[in-house]
Amino acid sequence: MRAFYQFTWRKDEMYQRNWRNRLNSSGFTLIEALFSFIVFALFIHLLIFIYSWLNQMNDSITNNDHVAWELFVNDFEQYLSNVKHIEQSNTRAKTIQISYVNSNEIVVVDQYQDIIRMQKNYLGYIPLLMGIKNSSFRLNGNYITVYVEFQSGAVKEREFFVQIRNE
């Protein structure tokens, strides 16, 4: 009988040791799991915020109006070299007429409906900028200012220097 009591005593002692080991073990507790979940949720929210901010910055920096405007500016600057005479139409603020040195070519840049177009010698036209609501050209000495309002509401304005040659 003594062996039986010794065996049960050791068995009870063994269960108590296991229970103490479980309390002292390095497993996750509910508080640790909640803390990990909160950190994970904050990290996910941070990633979503960064993604939406980058998307918004991409839209504001490289929207179609801005890209179209910069292409128009680049094209328009090319027509302002070797200029003999430039004048603005008296009847419309939306028309500029350019004549060149050593050439009989006349270039007219004007707004037609929602397009800024260029005509050479009043034949045909090449669209320079599309999707605009309003535009105007102001000639002030050797400077020409182009003002454009897009259909999206964006407003762009640029001033160009025109070197007039008397050859």
Domain assignment of residue 75, yes or no: yes
**Same domain flag for 95 and 56:** no
**Same domain flag for 55 and 68:** no
Domain assignment of residue 5, yes or no: no
Assigned token pair, 133: 């609501």
Q: Mind listing the pLDDT tens digit for each residue in 73-87?
A: 999 999 998 899 999
Are the CB atoms for 136 and 153 separated by under 8 Å? no
Among residues 63, 89, 70, 60, the alpha carbon closest in space to that of 129 is found at 70
Please give the residue range of the domain that contains residue 150: 64-161
Mean pLDDT of the residues in the chain: 84
E strand segments, 19-162: 83-88, 95-100, 106-112, 115-120, 123-130, 132-140, 143-150, 155-161
Does residue 153 carry a pLDDT above 70?
yes
